[in-house]
Amino acid sequence: MSFSNLVSDLAFRDAHDDRSSQISRARSQATARSHTSTAATSVSISGDISSHLHAGYSHPLSRSWQAERQLTKEMLIYPLFITDTPDEETPIPSLPNQHRRGLNRLVPFLKPLVHKGLRSVMLFGVPLHPSAKDALGTAADDPSGPVVQAIRLLRSRFPQLYIVTDSVDRISDVALAYAAAGAHCVAPSDMNDGRVRAIKLKLIEAGIAHRVLLMSYGAKFSGCLYGPFRDAAGSCPSFGDRRCYQLPPGGRGLARRAMQRDIGEGADIIMVKPAGSHLDIIRDAKELASDLPIAAYQSMAFESTEGILRAGAGIVIPY
């Protein structure tokens, strides 16, 4: 037998011996595990087997399956503050990393976000010209105004982007103008009695109610959290008290009645604002409007959205 053949034979023999040894050890270990498993099973069966939960969250993927609802890009609506100065891009001190933008700045800003998966935006007009505001809000539905122009621009450049508009004074006329310009959804933010019905009737008369959603701000509570947003939108009150049409923070019964009112008037989506401190109202909304999407307006932190989604919201508008 040559040396090389001997080496090969010895190697084969050693490998065979090792394999036999491994098989023997494996059989012994399997037998031991079997006894242990049988003993553990006996204990489990004698008690409450439903208490064995750990397998459901021992792996990262199985942990993710336990979430009742998970935040997805489709749930987010990004707010945009649009000014009547086309080339403006001004930081908003009270909202870090947010800006007021003119029409010429919108497409460059949105392009990478849409590429990453942004599906929807909400437009807020911020008229800065001294003559832009008057008691009747005539600039709001001006065809040459920033919001109407922005709707047309975004529909042209981002056909798949879903556009929501916030409408205010002379609310039904403004909402109709935004819808006619191409908005997919209109949202009357003052939540006064009869607003939803008035807008719905205008949309029906114009023959566009079948393609324009109506989002209700029915459960909008008064509080101190709106300051940064009003600063961003240039909508700080110059007179009066907006609390007269916003719900008192403890008014759960009023919120339930307001949501029922708006459902009856034809709302397609019910919104709760601010969401983080009113998770019980989101749950009420899901109960009262079980067949409608529920939106939540919230100062954005990822952790806070988990509670909002568990409460029943399926749309999140961060600011």
| Catalytic residue list | 220, 273
- CB atoms closer than 10 angstroms to residue 304: 17
| Element spanning 283, H or E | helix 279-288
Contact 160, 118 (CB under 8 A): no
Buried b (16+ CB within 10 A) or exposed e, 101-112: bbbebbeeebee
- CB atoms closer than 10 angstroms to residue 124: 22
In the chain, count of helices (H) and strands (E)? 10, 10
Strand order in the sheet with 162-167: 89-91, 99-101, 78-83, 120-126, 162-167, 185-188, 213-220, 269-273, 294-298, 315-318
| Element spanning 45, H or E | helix 3-46
C-alpha span between 154 and 175 (Å, rounded): 17
**Helix (H/G/I), strand (E/B), else coil: 246:** coil
- Planar angle of CA 211, 215, 219, nearest 5 degrees: 165
Residue 294: exposure state from Cβ atoms within 10 A (0-12, 13-18, ≥19): buried
- Planar angle of CA 304, 308, 309, nearest 5 degrees: 115
**Rounded to 10 degrees, what is the CA torsion of 172, 195, 153, 273?**
160
